[in-house]
Chain A
Amino acid sequence: MGANRKLSGAMKLWAVAALFAVMHTATAATVGPVTDDLGVVRIAKGAPIQIGGYWVLSGADTSLGLDGKRGAEIAFADIGNKLLGHPIKFTVEDDLCNAEGGQTAATKLASNPQIVVVLGGACSSAATPAAPILWQQGITNICNACSAPALTAPDRKPSYDGFARTIASDIDQGASDAKYIYTVLKAHTLATVHDGSPYAQQLVAVTEKNFTQLGGKVVSQEAVAPTDVDMHPVLTKIAAAKPDVLYMPVFVAAAAQLLRQSKEISGLEHTALVGGGSLAAAEFIEAAGPAVVGFHIGYPDVSPDTMGKGYPEFLEKYKKAYGEAPISGYHANAYDAAEMAIKAIEKVGKTDKDGNLYIGRKALRDAVFAEKFAGLSGPIACDKYGQCAAFKPAVYEFVSADPKTFTMGKNPKKIWP
């Protein structure tokens, strides 16, 4: 009897939990003039259209996120911060460039039923847990800087169906980096270091695969934690393998430590170091100091001469708004992500006779994925897995240790192709 009562209590709890889950998951609805499989956002006359964002806004990698946030803000400013007669309210969370931060940021944004679409982030580590949380509520996520291949891979899970990005996949970046290392640096042996993040781990795997296919040999595969400080032992281990190149697409703090401490390790005197787009930031110069000069990073070609025709004008607006030149290379991609959101809302938003605006969530997602336009960062056109940007290969070299000189294309200077 007691056991039955307990069982019944447990079943009730399960039922309540299931109901709660159903209530908090996007469901088909008809609101006003709009019917949508994933629900409809109703924005009352005069109320703001709420757009969310998540980027890394604190810690060593702040530049990567702040640059993207600024790009999106300029896109909204370009339309007077108004859309379909409603003001735009842009709510941004700090994702700390890690999984826990991404999860927290996405949960906060998803708990607001008025959020129409979410932009960001800067790190695949944050986007990997964030995108499914948002999509569970039917919220489309347009990322400007998370480049891990798995996010737009053909075998991605349905929970990523609402994820699209305006940055190229590291499938292309890894192939480009391997080609540069093998054919230009004439390296035949490669050592790699990742930090366990989806970005670094997946990029390293792609580069290793391509490097091996070209005829090279991977002689050492190492990993560090993003917070590791003492890199001497791991660098000594790498030195024992005598690699021609050490490929280390990790984030700012760990990369700066690897770069500086590599100069003190005997056996690495003739080893070239190559990093990734996670280091395309003024903060990396500040962290690495004089050791940064001569360091190479592989990153899509975002030098001003290869960007969209509105880029010079955008740069002026950026400088005017923030009192400095762009602090990383992700602003144009973020501008395009915001542009995608704006165009999609304009396309699917329906206003009733009282001035209330209705946006279907599934319709918005489909509109985002169907867009084609000449973006600030290049042509934007999504495949069915949300990959919306084309890849333009490039390698850059840092030429000055002064963080104020950071400008993509100048410092770091484009050296290839």
Chain B
Amino acid sequence: MGDRLSQALAPRASWLMAAARLNAVDVVLWALRLLVVGVVVAGTIGTVVKARYDAAQWVDFVVFGLTIGAIYAQIALGYTMVYGVLRLINFAHGDFVMSGAFAGYFVAQPLDRSGFLQNNPVLGMGAILVVSVLTSTSIALLTERIAYRPFRRVAGLAPLICAIGVSFFLEQTFRGMFGSAVKSYPSPAWERASFDVFGFHLPRVDVLVIVLAVLFMAGLYLIVQRTRMGTAMRAVAEDGEAAALMGIDVNKVVVFTFLLGGAMAGIAGVFYAFVYKQVYFFMGFTPGIKAFGAAVLGGIGNIPGAMLGGFFLGMVESVGPALFLDGLGIPAPYQLRDLIAFTLLIMVLIFRPQGLLGERMARKRA
């Protein structure tokens, strides 16, 4: 009888104990979570009830979100790989993207003027991608060798400050060389066409970017998971010293990591410029910061996590204002899209501090 009573009271007692342990910060955090969930639910219901958008427009929101998400994901991969291997937040990565986009621009412009890009889209895009990837990879490798390697064993914030310095250096170098004006990226007719799927018009360039980005990311994932160098990368990410003792050339692994990151940055730069049609010296900063957020959201150091984080951020930016805020009657909701995206990012991190897919590394380093 006494056992039964104590069993019956046990859950209640544990709740009471948990409640007693709550402090003011916990209460505020829970209130914040409930508020955000309340805004999301109420806004969504309001938007659905208003029925302002038709199905085609919702499909457009999703496609646009996936497009920018695919680009964020590709950029996030560079952050996450370098962090995994070196524990360095490479703030210059967004500028590797910018350098690739600029290099691609100088190929795309004459190809477009001559009509080659219009008549030979595959060859034209291939040439642009090759030049862009070569440029951003070269800059990434030079940055690693000249700026980051001397800081490899330096503790503290010096490597981070160095990364920020490299970012400024690259931006101002491109500004000095090519001016501060915004340059218009070519937009051939085949890129402006759309696919018809179940009656919905899907912009061809968006579909192309999403599909190619997923393919490139899948390729990168296979390289990291299935090749000897990828295995070495993962070993260095787990424990660099142990990996070196096992005969792995850490320098080679780091160079390979920057090579992969630079290549992804080059590809992202071309896609970014093709979709958003502008290049200028500061263009890498904002997507770089957002991609870093995506990498943290997915679980920094985790490759599938970076991809997932990128798509999540892109979708929230694109769909979030219309879905969550329009229904609440908030005017001009798209000026708040960064607020929504980063609020949700913070909420996810409050619930899962290690990010959506956690950080796959040795416990002692976590």
Contacts and interface: CB of A to CB of B under 8 A. Distances in A.
Contacts of A266: 56, 60, 201
B366 to A, nearest CB: 34
A224 B183 contact: no
Interface string A321-359: 000000000000000000000000000000000000000
A286 B183 contact: yes
Contacts of B334: 222-224, 233-234, 237
A216 interface: no
A89 to B, nearest CB: 26
B188 to A, nearest CB: 11
Given A230-B317, A232-B318, A290-B187, A263 B181 contact: no
A227 to B, nearest CB: 6
Interface in A206-233: 221-225, 227, 229-230, 232-233
Interface string A229-268: 1101110110110000000000011001100110111110
Contacts of A288: 184
Q: Is chain B's binding surface mostly helix, strand, loop or mixed?
A: helix
Indicate the size class of the contact surface on chain A.
Answer: 35 or more
A263 B332 CA distance: 21
B91 interface: no
A62 B192 contact: no
Contacts of B175: 58
A60 B180 contact: yes
Contacts of A312: none
A289 B277 contact: yes
A236 B183 contact: no
Nearest to A237: B322
B4 interface: no
Interface in B273-328: 275-278, 280, 282-283, 286-287, 317-319, 321-322, 326
Contacts of A51: none
Interface string B126-159: 0000000000000000000000000000000000
B11 interface: no
A223 B60 contact: no
Contacts of A290: 187
Nearest to B182: A287
Contacts of A196: 335
Nearest to B277: A260
Contact of A253 (B68, B278, B321, B338): B278
A236 B276 CA distance: 15
A287 B335 contact: no
A60 B65 CA distance: 26
Contacts of B203: 264
A239 B68 CA distance: 20
A39 B67 CA distance: 60
B180 A233 contact: no
B314 to A, nearest CB: 9
B173 interface: no
A264 B63 CA distance: 13
Nearest to B200: A266
Interface in B37-69: 52-54, 56-57, 60-61, 64-65, 67-68
Interface in B234-287: 275-278, 280, 282-283, 286-287
Contacts of B183: 286-287
Contact of B181 (A223, A227, A234, A286): A286
Contact of B335 (A225, A229, A260): A225
B181 A260 contact: no
Closest 8 CB pairs of A and B: A289-B184, A223-B332, A287-B182, A223-B335, A234-B334, A232-B64, A60-B182, A233-B318
Interface of A: 58-60, 62, 196, 221-225, 227, 229-230, 232-234, 236-237, 239-240, 252-253, 256-257, 260-261, 263-267, 283, 286-290
9 contacts: A60-B182, A62-B181, A222-B335, A225-B335, A230-B318, A237-B322, A237-B326, A252-B182, A287-B278
Given A223-B332, A233-B337, 17 more contacts: A58-B180, A221-B331, A222-B332, A224-B335, A225-B338, A229-B286, A230-B276, A232-B64, A233-B64, A233-B317, A233-B321, A236-B57, A239-B57, A240-B54, A265-B60, A267-B57, A289-B277
